[in-house]
């Protein structure tokens, strides 16, 4: 049970914290203050020899500064809102003036349109009479032109027929010659293409084999590098005992998720004490270094390493 010597400072501390909460949440804020993380105070029955709990005093100046900051923020928010409303009213007034001016412009345009419509009708009436007169003259001209075109066409058709027959004969001879040349050219190209494709396929196969070999070496190098990092991680969490572990080792098979999380550890051959301590160190680490390269991860998701503690 809590004695009076503990209840007095605790009551004071709770009262001060309650006052801070009332000040912080009294205003209407448009944003959320950062919520402090709740602290847990454990109260236990202390021996009579332990000194009473001392309540933490609230710095009054810091409290006032925080309250002033909140009030300043409220004032700034209010000023911004008033400015925004004023700007909206000014834009509305400007839009009204613009609409009135646009209506006046539309009326003037409508008046101009009606005047132009009257002028257009008068011009169309005069043009209609002129077109009727011109149409009759055009009819006579077209009849004469048609007669001339008919005679010219008969002469042109005869000449075109003769030239066509001559051109077709020449074209047929040239076509036979070109087809023979094209056949020989295609045969040559086919032979050359087949040889190029054969050489290219051979070159690509060699390059593919070289790249695959280089990739395998790169993957193995990365596996070895991460295996060394895993050994270093195990060593950091390994509890050593020179008297029982020096010069001893253990072979471990570790199963890893793609994130490096350890899902299983199997100890193989080696010293039982070292194996047991190594497994504990691995599970203590929880996550081991793993490559983000999918090919490297495939090789090390179930990795076998031999661990020997350094002294």
Domain segments of the chain as ranges: 226-307
User: What percentage of the chain has pLDDT greater than the value 70?
Assistant: 81
Mean pLDDT of the chain: 81
Q: What pLDDT does residue 58 have?
A: 54
Q: What pLDDT does residue 187 have?
A: 92
Confidence of residue 119 (pLDDT cuts 50, 70, 90): confident
Between 42 and 19, where is the model more confident? 19
pTM listed for this prediction: 0.37
Segment 2-31 shows an average pLDDT of: 44
Domain formed by 226-307, architecture: 2-Layer Sandwich (3.30)
Segment 154-180 shows an average pLDDT of: 90
| Range from 126-140, 185-199, 229-243 carrying the lowest mean pLDDT | 126-140
User: Does pLDDT of 214 surpass 80?
Assistant: yes
Q: What pLDDT does residue 279 have?
A: 94
3-state SS track over the chain:
CCCHHHHHHHHHHHHHHHHHHHHHHCCCCCCCCCCCCCCCCCCCCCCCCCCCCCCCCCCHHHHHHHHHHHHHHHHHHHHHHHHHHHHHHHHHHHHHHHHHHHHHHHHHHHHHHHHHHHHHHHHHHHHHHHHHHHHHHHHHHHHHHHHHHHHHHHHHHHHHHHHHHHHHHHHHHHHHHHHHHHHHHHHHHHHHHHHHHHHHHHHHHHHHHHHHHHHHHHHHHHHHHHHHHHHHHHHHHCCCCHHHHCCCCEEEEEEECCCCEEEEEEEEEECHHHHHHHHHHHHHHCECCCCCCHHHHHHHCEEEEEECCCC
Q: What pLDDT does residue 33 have?
A: 35
Segment 162-172 shows an average pLDDT of: 90
């Amino acid at each position: 049970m809590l004695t009076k010597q503990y209840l007095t400072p605790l009551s004071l501390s709770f009262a001060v914290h309650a006052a801070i909460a009332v000040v912080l949440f009294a205003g209407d804020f448009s944003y959320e203050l950062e919520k402090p993380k709740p602290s847990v105070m454990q109260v236990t029955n202390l021996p009579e020899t332990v000194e009473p709990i001392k309540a933490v005093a609230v710095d009054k100046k810091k409290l006032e500064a925080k309250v002033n900051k909140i009030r300043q923020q409220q004032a700034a928010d209010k000023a911004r809102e008033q400015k925004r409303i004023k700007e909206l009213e000014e834009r509305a007034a400007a839009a009204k003036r613009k609409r009135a001016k646009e209506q006046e412009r539309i009326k003037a345009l409508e008046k101009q349109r009606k005047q132009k419509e009257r002028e257009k009708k008068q011009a169309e009436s005069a043009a209609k009479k002129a077109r009727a007169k011109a149409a009759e003259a055009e009819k006579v001209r077209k009849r004469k032109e048609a007669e001339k075109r008919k005679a010219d066409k008969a002469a042109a058709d005869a000449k075109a027929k003769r030239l066509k027959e001559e051109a077709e004969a020449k074209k047929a001879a040239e076509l036979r010659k070109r087809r023979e040349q094209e056949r020989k050219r295609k045969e040559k190209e086919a032979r050359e293409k087949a040889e190029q494709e054969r050489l290219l396929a051979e070159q690509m196969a060699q390059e593919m084999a070289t790249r695959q070999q280089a990739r395998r070496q790169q993957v193995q190098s990365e596996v070895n590098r991460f295996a060394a990092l895993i050994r270093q991680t195990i060593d950091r969490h390994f509890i050593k005992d020179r008297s029982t572990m020096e010069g001893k080792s253990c072979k471990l098979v570790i199963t890893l998720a793609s994130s490096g999380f350890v899902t299983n550890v199997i100890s193989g051959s080696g010293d039982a004490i070292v194996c047991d301590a190594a497994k504990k160190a691995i599970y203590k680490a929880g996550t081991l270094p793993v490559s983000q390269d999918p090919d490297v991860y495939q090789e090390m998701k179930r990795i076998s390493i031999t661990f020997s503690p350094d002294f």
